[in-house]
Amino acid sequence: MFYVLLCLKNECYGMDILDRVPAMTANRVSVGSGTLYNLLEQFLAEGFIRETKVEGRRRSYILTDKGREMLDKEYERIQAQAVDYRRIFGKEEAK
């Protein structure tokens, strides 16, 4: 979810996302096409993204303001998890 929304900072097609997620994560994360298109439908329904072009079966999308807010909240949640990990395992941030 996080990486799909991150890709949509800039307009792109669904197929572009399938390529961009592995590229931006050094191949740590990949998204299957079924998962991707299910997420895109959910994001459209929630207003997190909007369609920008439709060319036959090919559709492009971009993040909305509401989607950016959701992405920001998810980023904050991930940061809080990292803080919890460091606190529990006694790993302080380098200063």
Residue ranges per domain, the chain?
A: 2-88
* Reported pTM: 0.83
% of residues, the chain, pLDDT over 90: 86
Q: What is the pLDDT of residues 62-92, one digit of tens each?
A: 999 999 999 999 999 999 999 999 999 987 6
pLDDT in tens, 19-55: 999 999 999 999 999 999 999 999 999 999 999 999 8
Q: How far is CA 86 from CA 4, 59, 80, in A?
A: 27, 42, 10
Q: What is the pLDDT of residue 91?
A: 75
**CATH no., domain 2-88:** 1.10.10.10
Share of the chain above pLDDT 70, in %: 96
Look up residue 90 and give its two tokens.
């006694």
**pLDDT at residue 93, as a whole number:** 58
